[in-house]
Structure 1
Amino acid sequence: MSTQTPPRSSWLKPALIGAALVAIAAIGYSSLASSTPAPDVTFIDIKGQKISSQSLRGKVFMVNFWATSCATCVKEMPQMVETYNKFKGQGMEFVAVAMKYDAPNYVLNYAETNRLPFTVALDSGGDIAKAFGDVTLTPTTFLIDKNGKIIKRYVGEPDFPALHKLLEKTIAG
Protein backbone atom coordinates (compact mmCIF):
# COMPACT_ATOMS: atom_id res chain seq x y z
CA MET A 1 0.00 0.00 0.00
CA SER A 2 1.49 3.28 -1.04
CA THR A 3 0.57 6.68 0.34
CA GLN A 4 0.50 9.42 -2.15
CA THR A 5 0.87 13.09 -1.38
CA PRO A 6 -2.12 15.00 -2.69
CA PRO A 7 -1.31 17.23 -5.61
CA ARG A 8 -0.21 20.72 -4.59
CA SER A 9 -3.19 22.33 -6.31
CA SER A 10 -5.66 20.50 -4.04
CA TRP A 11 -4.43 22.25 -0.86
CA LEU A 12 -2.88 25.41 -2.28
CA LYS A 13 -6.12 27.02 -3.41
CA PRO A 14 -7.94 26.65 -0.03
CA ALA A 15 -4.81 27.89 1.76
CA LEU A 16 -4.63 31.00 -0.42
CA ILE A 17 -8.35 31.67 0.04
CA GLY A 18 -7.94 31.29 3.81
CA ALA A 19 -4.97 33.66 3.86
CA ALA A 20 -6.90 36.20 1.78
CA LEU A 21 -9.88 36.02 4.15
CA VAL A 22 -7.63 36.57 7.15
CA ALA A 23 -6.03 39.58 5.45
CA ILE A 24 -9.43 41.07 4.54
CA ALA A 25 -10.66 40.55 8.10
CA ALA A 26 -7.56 42.25 9.51
CA ILE A 27 -7.95 45.23 7.18
CA GLY A 28 -11.63 45.46 8.04
CA TYR A 29 -10.88 45.36 11.75
CA SER A 30 -8.15 48.00 11.58
CA SER A 31 -10.29 50.36 9.53
CA LEU A 32 -13.19 49.76 11.90
CA ALA A 33 -10.97 50.40 14.92
CA SER A 34 -9.63 53.60 13.40
CA SER A 35 -13.08 55.01 12.70
CA THR A 36 -14.60 54.95 16.17
CA PRO A 37 -16.70 58.07 16.59
CA ALA A 38 -15.62 60.46 19.33
CA PRO A 39 -18.30 60.83 21.99
CA ASP A 40 -20.56 63.87 22.04
CA VAL A 41 -19.49 65.72 25.16
CA THR A 42 -19.46 69.28 26.45
CA PHE A 43 -16.19 70.52 27.89
CA ILE A 44 -16.34 73.22 30.56
CA ASP A 45 -13.13 75.20 30.58
CA ILE A 46 -11.47 76.82 33.59
CA LYS A 47 -13.23 80.10 32.78
CA GLY A 48 -16.64 78.43 32.79
CA GLN A 49 -17.07 78.46 28.98
CA LYS A 50 -18.76 75.47 27.36
CA ILE A 51 -17.32 73.87 24.23
CA SER A 52 -19.11 70.94 22.65
CA SER A 53 -17.31 68.26 20.71
CA GLN A 54 -19.93 68.87 18.00
CA SER A 55 -18.63 72.44 17.61
CA LEU A 56 -15.19 71.01 16.83
CA ARG A 57 -16.46 68.98 13.85
CA GLY A 58 -14.71 69.97 10.68
CA LYS A 59 -11.46 70.44 12.59
CA VAL A 60 -8.76 68.04 13.66
CA PHE A 61 -8.55 68.11 17.44
CA MET A 62 -6.80 66.44 20.32
CA VAL A 63 -8.25 65.63 23.73
CA ASN A 64 -5.60 65.10 26.40
CA PHE A 65 -6.58 63.64 29.79
CA TRP A 66 -4.06 64.76 32.38
CA ALA A 67 -3.55 65.68 36.04
CA THR A 68 -1.30 68.12 37.84
CA SER A 69 -0.17 65.23 40.06
CA CYS A 70 0.91 63.11 37.07
CA ALA A 71 4.68 63.39 36.47
CA THR A 72 4.45 62.18 32.87
CA CYS A 73 1.64 64.66 32.16
CA VAL A 74 3.69 67.56 33.51
CA LYS A 75 6.75 66.33 31.58
CA GLU A 76 4.88 66.08 28.25
CA MET A 77 2.92 69.35 28.61
CA PRO A 78 5.62 71.61 27.07
CA GLN A 79 5.64 69.31 24.00
CA MET A 80 1.83 69.43 23.88
CA VAL A 81 2.10 73.24 23.87
CA GLU A 82 4.69 73.06 21.05
CA THR A 83 2.44 70.68 19.10
CA TYR A 84 -0.55 72.98 19.53
CA ASN A 85 1.44 76.07 18.54
CA LYS A 86 2.81 74.27 15.46
CA PHE A 87 -0.60 73.12 14.18
CA LYS A 88 -3.14 75.67 15.46
CA GLY A 89 -2.59 77.85 12.38
CA GLN A 90 -3.66 74.86 10.26
CA GLY A 91 -6.96 74.56 12.13
CA MET A 92 -6.09 72.07 14.87
CA GLU A 93 -7.83 72.45 18.23
CA PHE A 94 -6.70 71.06 21.57
CA VAL A 95 -8.55 70.40 24.83
CA ALA A 96 -6.62 69.40 27.95
CA VAL A 97 -9.08 67.69 30.31
CA ALA A 98 -8.07 67.63 33.96
CA MET A 99 -9.15 64.45 35.73
CA LYS A 100 -11.95 64.57 38.31
CA TYR A 101 -9.55 64.02 41.23
CA ASP A 102 -7.46 67.06 40.26
CA ALA A 103 -8.32 70.06 42.45
CA PRO A 104 -9.67 72.89 40.25
CA ASN A 105 -7.41 75.48 41.94
CA TYR A 106 -4.34 73.31 41.11
CA VAL A 107 -5.45 73.07 37.47
CA LEU A 108 -6.10 76.81 37.24
CA ASN A 109 -2.74 77.60 38.87
CA TYR A 110 -0.88 75.21 36.54
CA ALA A 111 -2.62 76.55 33.42
CA GLU A 112 -1.90 80.17 34.35
CA THR A 113 1.66 79.61 35.57
CA ASN A 114 2.57 77.65 32.44
CA ARG A 115 0.53 79.88 30.13
CA LEU A 116 -1.25 76.97 28.47
CA PRO A 117 -2.46 78.38 25.13
CA PHE A 118 -5.26 75.87 24.53
CA THR A 119 -8.55 75.04 26.19
CA VAL A 120 -8.13 73.57 29.66
CA ALA A 121 -11.28 71.83 30.86
CA LEU A 122 -12.33 70.37 34.20
CA ASP A 123 -13.99 66.96 34.38
CA SER A 124 -15.35 67.39 37.90
CA GLY A 125 -17.82 64.51 37.67
CA GLY A 126 -15.63 62.23 35.55
CA ASP A 127 -18.30 62.14 32.82
CA ILE A 128 -15.94 63.10 29.99
CA ALA A 129 -13.39 60.44 30.96
CA LYS A 130 -16.24 57.89 31.10
CA ALA A 131 -17.52 58.95 27.67
CA PHE A 132 -14.05 58.42 26.16
CA GLY A 133 -13.98 54.77 27.25
CA ASP A 134 -13.57 55.19 31.00
CA VAL A 135 -10.13 56.80 30.89
CA THR A 136 -8.28 56.19 34.16
CA LEU A 137 -4.62 56.32 33.13
CA THR A 138 -2.93 59.67 32.59
CA PRO A 139 -1.83 60.94 30.26
CA THR A 140 -4.22 59.58 27.66
CA THR A 141 -4.58 61.54 24.43
CA PHE A 142 -7.03 61.10 21.57
CA LEU A 143 -6.49 62.40 18.05
CA ILE A 144 -9.81 63.07 16.34
CA ASP A 145 -10.24 63.78 12.63
CA LYS A 146 -12.42 66.36 10.87
CA ASN A 147 -15.32 63.89 10.74
CA GLY A 148 -15.31 63.37 14.51
CA LYS A 149 -13.66 59.94 14.34
CA ILE A 150 -10.97 58.87 16.80
CA ILE A 151 -7.97 57.94 14.68
CA LYS A 152 -5.39 57.39 17.42
CA ARG A 153 -5.32 56.88 21.18
CA TYR A 154 -2.09 57.39 23.08
CA VAL A 155 -1.71 56.05 26.60
CA GLY A 156 1.39 57.63 28.07
CA GLU A 157 3.57 60.17 26.34
CA PRO A 158 3.21 60.09 22.55
CA ASP A 159 6.10 59.71 20.15
CA PHE A 160 5.93 63.39 19.18
CA PRO A 161 7.69 63.17 15.77
CA ALA A 162 5.26 60.38 14.77
CA LEU A 163 2.33 62.36 16.19
CA HIS A 164 3.36 65.41 14.13
CA LYS A 165 3.52 63.31 10.95
CA LEU A 166 0.06 61.90 11.67
CA LEU A 167 -1.27 65.40 12.36
CA GLU A 168 0.15 66.69 9.06
CA LYS A 169 -1.48 63.82 7.18
CA THR A 170 -4.81 64.17 9.03
CA ILE A 171 -5.01 67.95 8.63
CA ALA A 172 -4.18 67.68 4.91
CA GLY A 173 -6.74 64.90 4.37
Structure 2
Amino acid sequence: MRTRLWFAGAAVAAVICVGGLAFASVTVGSAAPALVVPELDGQTFDLSAQRGKVVIVNFWATWCPPCRKEMPALDAFYRRYHGNGLEMIGVSADRPHDRSDVIKVMQSLSYPAAMLDDAKVNDFGPPNELPVTFVVDSGGVLRAEFTPDQTPVTEKSLTDTVLPLLPQTSATHASLKPGTLQ
Protein backbone atom coordinates (compact mmCIF):
# COMPACT_ATOMS: atom_id res chain seq x y z
CA MET A 1 0.00 0.00 0.00
CA ARG A 2 2.80 2.43 0.88
CA THR A 3 4.51 1.67 -2.40
CA ARG A 4 1.35 2.57 -4.35
CA LEU A 5 0.99 5.83 -2.43
CA TRP A 6 4.65 6.67 -3.02
CA PHE A 7 4.29 6.05 -6.77
CA ALA A 8 1.08 8.06 -6.90
CA GLY A 9 2.80 10.94 -5.08
CA ALA A 10 5.80 10.73 -7.37
CA ALA A 11 3.54 10.80 -10.42
CA VAL A 12 1.74 13.92 -9.16
CA ALA A 13 5.06 15.61 -8.41
CA ALA A 14 6.31 14.78 -11.90
CA VAL A 15 3.23 16.30 -13.48
CA ILE A 16 3.60 19.45 -11.39
CA CYS A 17 7.28 19.75 -12.29
CA VAL A 18 6.67 19.19 -15.99
CA GLY A 19 3.88 21.77 -15.94
CA GLY A 20 6.14 24.19 -14.11
CA LEU A 21 8.96 23.62 -16.57
CA ALA A 22 6.63 24.18 -19.50
CA PHE A 23 5.54 27.54 -18.12
CA ALA A 24 9.08 28.45 -17.10
CA SER A 25 10.18 27.96 -20.73
CA VAL A 26 7.99 30.88 -21.80
CA THR A 27 10.71 33.50 -22.04
CA VAL A 28 10.62 36.74 -23.97
CA GLY A 29 13.26 36.56 -26.70
CA SER A 30 12.98 32.79 -27.17
CA ALA A 31 10.98 30.75 -29.65
CA ALA A 32 7.27 30.82 -28.88
CA PRO A 33 5.90 27.64 -27.31
CA ALA A 34 3.68 25.39 -29.40
CA LEU A 35 -0.07 25.95 -29.18
CA VAL A 36 -2.67 23.97 -31.12
CA VAL A 37 -6.27 24.43 -30.04
CA PRO A 38 -9.68 24.15 -31.67
CA GLU A 39 -11.40 27.53 -31.83
CA LEU A 40 -14.98 27.92 -30.64
CA ASP A 41 -16.12 28.03 -34.29
CA GLY A 42 -14.49 24.65 -35.02
CA GLN A 43 -11.42 25.87 -36.91
CA THR A 44 -8.01 24.88 -35.58
CA PHE A 45 -5.57 27.51 -34.36
CA ASP A 46 -1.95 26.39 -34.70
CA LEU A 47 0.57 29.01 -33.58
CA SER A 48 3.37 27.49 -35.67
CA ALA A 49 1.20 27.83 -38.80
CA GLN A 50 1.02 31.61 -38.21
CA ARG A 51 4.64 32.24 -39.22
CA GLY A 52 4.84 35.43 -41.24
CA LYS A 53 2.21 37.09 -39.03
CA VAL A 54 2.37 38.78 -35.66
CA VAL A 55 0.22 36.91 -33.14
CA ILE A 56 -1.31 37.97 -29.85
CA VAL A 57 -2.13 35.06 -27.51
CA ASN A 58 -4.34 36.14 -24.62
CA PHE A 59 -5.13 33.78 -21.71
CA TRP A 60 -8.25 34.95 -19.88
CA ALA A 61 -11.41 33.80 -18.07
CA THR A 62 -15.00 35.05 -17.84
CA TRP A 63 -14.80 35.34 -14.04
CA CYS A 64 -11.64 37.52 -14.16
CA PRO A 65 -12.41 41.29 -13.96
CA PRO A 66 -8.95 42.40 -15.23
CA CYS A 67 -9.38 40.02 -18.18
CA ARG A 68 -12.73 41.51 -19.13
CA LYS A 69 -11.37 45.05 -18.66
CA GLU A 70 -8.63 44.61 -21.27
CA MET A 71 -10.78 42.82 -23.87
CA PRO A 72 -12.14 45.99 -25.55
CA ALA A 73 -8.58 47.24 -26.18
CA LEU A 74 -7.57 43.84 -27.56
CA ASP A 75 -10.64 43.75 -29.78
CA ALA A 76 -10.18 47.29 -31.13
CA PHE A 77 -6.51 46.59 -31.85
CA TYR A 78 -7.36 43.32 -33.61
CA ARG A 79 -10.08 44.97 -35.70
CA ARG A 80 -7.72 47.72 -36.78
CA TYR A 81 -4.65 45.63 -37.60
CA HIS A 82 -5.96 42.20 -38.56
CA GLY A 83 -5.63 43.12 -42.23
CA ASN A 84 -2.00 44.17 -41.66
CA GLY A 85 -0.66 40.77 -40.67
CA LEU A 86 -1.99 40.55 -37.09
CA GLU A 87 -3.60 37.38 -35.77
CA MET A 88 -4.99 36.78 -32.33
CA ILE A 89 -6.44 34.05 -30.16
CA GLY A 90 -8.17 34.43 -26.82
CA VAL A 91 -7.66 31.23 -24.82
CA SER A 92 -10.20 30.88 -22.05
CA ALA A 93 -9.11 29.18 -18.84
CA ASP A 94 -12.76 28.65 -17.90
CA ARG A 95 -13.88 25.12 -17.09
CA PRO A 96 -15.48 23.11 -19.89
CA HIS A 97 -18.94 23.38 -18.33
CA ASP A 98 -18.67 27.19 -18.64
CA ARG A 99 -18.27 27.06 -22.44
CA SER A 100 -21.63 28.79 -22.96
CA ASP A 101 -20.44 31.74 -20.83
CA VAL A 102 -17.28 31.99 -22.93
CA ILE A 103 -19.29 31.91 -26.16
CA LYS A 104 -21.60 34.62 -24.84
CA VAL A 105 -18.67 36.93 -23.97
CA MET A 106 -16.98 36.33 -27.31
CA GLN A 107 -20.12 37.17 -29.32
CA SER A 108 -19.39 40.88 -28.88
CA LEU A 109 -15.72 40.51 -29.88
CA SER A 110 -14.21 39.99 -33.31
CA TYR A 111 -11.13 37.91 -32.54
CA PRO A 112 -11.24 34.09 -32.32
CA ALA A 113 -11.30 32.24 -29.03
CA ALA A 114 -10.73 28.74 -27.72
CA MET A 115 -10.97 26.79 -24.49
CA LEU A 116 -7.67 25.98 -22.77
CA ASP A 117 -8.93 22.53 -21.76
CA ASP A 118 -9.49 21.70 -25.46
CA ALA A 119 -5.85 22.34 -26.42
CA LYS A 120 -4.24 19.50 -28.36
CA VAL A 121 -0.81 21.01 -27.64
CA ASN A 122 -0.12 23.72 -25.05
CA ASP A 123 3.57 24.24 -24.39
CA PHE A 124 2.79 27.58 -22.74
CA GLY A 125 1.60 25.50 -19.80
CA PRO A 126 -1.15 26.57 -17.45
CA PRO A 127 -1.09 30.30 -16.79
CA ASN A 128 -0.01 31.13 -13.26
CA GLU A 129 -2.03 34.35 -13.39
CA LEU A 130 -4.81 35.83 -15.47
CA PRO A 131 -4.88 37.66 -17.68
CA VAL A 132 -1.59 37.02 -19.41
CA THR A 133 -0.98 38.08 -22.98
CA PHE A 134 1.92 37.15 -25.23
CA VAL A 135 3.07 38.80 -28.45
CA VAL A 136 4.80 36.57 -31.00
CA ASP A 137 6.60 38.14 -33.96
CA SER A 138 6.39 36.99 -37.56
CA GLY A 139 9.42 34.74 -37.11
CA GLY A 140 7.85 32.86 -34.19
CA VAL A 141 9.83 34.62 -31.44
CA LEU A 142 8.10 35.66 -28.21
CA ARG A 143 8.51 39.44 -28.05
CA ALA A 144 6.40 40.51 -25.06
CA GLU A 145 4.41 39.28 -22.08
CA PHE A 146 1.70 41.50 -20.60
CA THR A 147 0.27 41.03 -17.11
CA PRO A 148 -1.79 43.52 -15.09
CA ASP A 149 0.88 43.92 -12.41
CA GLN A 150 3.86 44.35 -14.80
CA THR A 151 2.72 45.70 -18.18
CA PRO A 152 -1.05 45.83 -18.55
CA VAL A 153 -2.71 45.49 -21.94
CA THR A 154 -3.71 48.98 -23.02
CA GLU A 155 -4.04 50.72 -26.34
CA LYS A 156 -0.62 52.31 -25.75
CA SER A 157 1.17 49.11 -24.70
CA LEU A 158 -0.23 47.27 -27.73
CA THR A 159 0.68 50.13 -30.07
CA ASP A 160 4.21 50.46 -28.68
CA THR A 161 4.89 46.71 -28.75
CA VAL A 162 3.00 45.33 -31.74
CA LEU A 163 3.09 48.07 -34.38
CA PRO A 164 6.88 47.95 -34.85
CA LEU A 165 6.54 44.22 -35.57
CA LEU A 166 3.88 44.62 -38.28
CA PRO A 167 4.88 45.11 -41.92
CA GLN A 168 4.04 48.83 -42.21
CA THR A 169 5.90 51.93 -43.22
CA SER A 170 7.56 54.00 -40.53
CA ALA A 171 5.33 56.93 -41.54
CA THR A 172 2.29 54.90 -40.50
CA HIS A 173 3.90 54.20 -37.11
CA ALA A 174 4.79 57.84 -36.59
CA SER A 175 1.30 59.09 -37.45
CA LEU A 176 -0.56 56.79 -35.04
CA LYS A 177 -1.54 58.45 -31.81
CA PRO A 178 -3.02 56.80 -28.70
CA GLY A 179 -6.79 57.05 -28.70
CA THR A 180 -7.11 56.32 -32.42
CA LEU A 181 -7.70 52.58 -32.42
CA GLN A 182 -11.38 52.75 -33.29
Q: Corresponding residue for 1:167?
A: 162
Matches of 1:133 and 1:108, distance apart in 2: 23
Percent of counterpart pairs with the same letter?
26
- SS of the equivalent of 2:166 reads helix
CA deviations on 1:33-85 (whole Å, 9 max, x unpaired) are: 54211112212111222121121111001000000100011111111111111
Q: Corresponding residue for 1:117?
A: 110
The one of 82, 85, 94 equivalent to 1:91 is 85
- TM-score (norm. length: structure 1): 0.72
The one of 23, 42, 58 equivalent to 2:52 is 58
Q: Corresponding residue for 2:22?
A: none
Amino acid at match of 1:45: E
Indicate if the aligned counterparts of 1:99 and 1:126 stay in contact, CA closer than 8 A.
Answer: no
The one of 53, 64, 71 equivalent to 1:77 is 71
Q: Corresponding residue for 2:145?
A: 153
Amino acid at match of 2:68: V
Q: Does 1:107 align with 2:99?
A: no
CA change 1:49–1:127 in 2 (3 A) is closer
| 5+ residue gaps, structure 2 | 1-26, 169-182
Q: Corresponding residue for 2:43?
A: 49
CA change 1:126–1:137 in 2 (3 A) is farther
The one of 134, 149, 156 equivalent to 2:126 is 134
Indicate if the aligned counterparts of 2:61 and 2:130 stay in contact, CA closer than 8 A.
Answer: yes
Measured on the aligned residues, the alpha-carbon RMSD in Å equals: 2.0
Indicate if the aligned counterparts of 2:36 and 2:44 stay in contact, CA closer than 8 A.
Answer: yes
Deviation at 1:109, TM superposition (A): 1.3
Matches of 2:120 and 2:130, distance apart in 1: 16
| 5+ residue gaps, structure 1 | 1-32
- SS of the equivalent of 1:136 reads coil
Number of matched residues? 138
- TM-score (norm. length: structure 2): 0.69
Deviation at 1:100, TM superposition (A): 4.4
Deviation at 1:146, TM superposition (A): 0.4
Indicate if the aligned counterparts of 1:101 and 1:124 stay in contact, CA closer than 8 A.
Answer: yes
Deviation at 1:101, TM superposition (A): 2.8
Deviation at 1:89, TM superposition (A): 1.8
